[in-house]
Amino acid sequence: MMKRLFYFILFFITPIVSYCNVDLQKLVDGAVTKGELRLEKKTYVLRRPLKLPSGFKLFGNGATLEPSATWKKDNDQYFPLIEIVDVSNVYLSGLIVDNKAKRGIQGMPSYSILVLNSSSIVIENNIFRDLGLRKESKVRHGSPFILAAAQEVPGDFSYIPKKYRNKRGSVNGLRILKNTFTNNEFVNSFAIRLVTLWTKDRQKSTLNNKISNAVIADNKFYGEYDWNTLEMAGPATVGITVERNYISGKSINNIDVDKGASDIIIKGNILTNLGLPSRHKENKNVRVSPIMVHGNTLGYECENVQILDNKIEKITNPNIENSRFLYSSGIGVLHARNVRIKGNRITKAFVGKNYGGAICLDQSVYDVFINENYIDEVYRGIIVTPNTKNINNITIENNNVSSRAEPMMVLTAKQGKFSKLTVKNNITKSNNNKRIILSRSIIGLQSDVK
């Protein structure tokens, strides 16, 4: 009797997964005239990438999309679960996209969604989960949940499907809104990538195909990402707004403005439980900054970036000595021009460690304004490193800084061009009575520091 009762209870507490055997692509194709499709709350197994047409709305209503167990056998390398290619005015919402990472590399797609040569795309209120390899794996799965790429010439990117290597064109008006990305048991290199090529020494002014006018807002990200949670990279990646997102999990840089990306607004985001993933602990080529603005030495400066009203907290690195940890920070800026850092709250960064700071400027920086930030429980507050070779027009005003070591430390390289530094009206406190250090080699230094 008890055994029978046990199985009766087990039946009612075990979730029932309803699989739908219909061909979802045929359902989409059959609804083109209507312009929309509303799915049942079932699991749809895809053997091939789902292609969405122009002017189409797909309402998931809690439906799950997942790849077939033989996905890699059935598809070429770099195929996504969903293709948004050569289309406009597409709306996608209410889906659970389960990439089935627990099967290993053979049973999951390279991406959840691939966007190429498309405009006015809205990806809203979906759940993306489990893409990548297990945390203990010695290799990494480099593909994000969502990849948007713009090729200036054929073959710019080797990691898009072979059939699209000749595909040129822009991505304009992409909206990624109110989605949840979870990767708690697995590690992927990125959650979202917006990329244009940065390795061909092309002049920014000559580029025609761009990632532009994109918004990433009100999303939630849980889990660890090997390189970046959000990456915006390349000289033709412009006009991106990242706002009101919640990010919890380690990454080298959680929000990364990289390799010439410009005209970026990062506003009102909450970033917590941050820091360098442990597998990078002995890597001498990485420096953690949850928000990083990082041009390169090939002439691709990042320009016109606003970092406003973000909350950054609980940054920890692996418990090991690594010289690259010295200038880890909450916000990092190098090879950049016209950057405003205002109204951010940076706390509990590298607590108990004798390295790191809240805001760090390095290499070559021009027209940087650091205003009205609140900084507490950090080793150093605002740093300009001795690696800095060129600075011009740096303003540090009206910040509230409490640190264990120097609240502000502005050093410069032995050779370089250093001009116009203004440091005024800051409230500073050092728990170890360290003084503010300002390099006297800067021409046009204005400071109220005694």
Query: For the chain, which residues make up each domain, given as ranges?
Result: 19-249
What's the confidence (pLDDT) of residue 95? Answer: 98
Q: Is residue 18 very low, low, confident or very high in pLDDT (cuts 50, 70, 90)?
A: low
Q: Is residue 287 very low, low, confident or very high in pLDDT (cuts 50, 70, 90)?
A: confident
Residues in CB range of 239: below 8 A, 6 or more apart: 212, 213, 214, 263, 264
What's the confidence (pLDDT) of residue 426? Answer: 96
Mean pLDDT of 109-126: 97
Q: Where are the beta strands (DSSP E) in 234-373?
A: 237-243, 246-248, 253-258, 262-267, 270-272, 291-294, 302-308, 311-315, 329-342, 345-349, 357-371
Mean pLDDT of 120-128: 98
Q: Is residue 264 very low, low, confident or very high in pLDDT (cuts 50, 70, 90)?
A: very high
Examine the pLDDT at 7 and tell me if it is beyond 70.
Answer: no
Residues in CB range of 349: below 8 A, 6 or more apart: 312, 313, 315, 328, 329, 330, 356, 357, 358, 377, 378, 379
Whether this prediction's pTM lies above 0.85 is answered by yes
Mean pLDDT of 134-148: 80
Examine the pLDDT at 9 and tell me if it is beyond 90.
Answer: no
Mean pLDDT of 316-338: 89
How many Cα atoms sit within 13 Å of 137 on the Cβ side? 18
Q: What sections of 46-129 are H helices per DSSP?
A: 71-74
Instruction: Give the dihedral of Cα atoms 371, 373, 378, 382; nearest 10 deg.
Output: -10
Residue 87: name the closest of 113, 60, 59 by CA. Answer: 113
Examine the pLDDT at 444 and tell me if it is beyond 80.
Answer: yes
Strands 311-315 and 302-308: unpaired
Examine the pLDDT at 187 and tell me if it is beyond 70.
Answer: yes
Examine the pLDDT at 162 and tell me if it is beyond 50.
Answer: yes
What's the confidence (pLDDT) of residue 15? Answer: 44
Q: Is residue 20 very low, low, confident or very high in pLDDT (cuts 50, 70, 90)?
A: low
CATH annotation of 19-249: 2.160.20
What's the confidence (pLDDT) of residue 296? Answer: 83
DSSP class of 10: H
Mean pLDDT of 327-332: 94
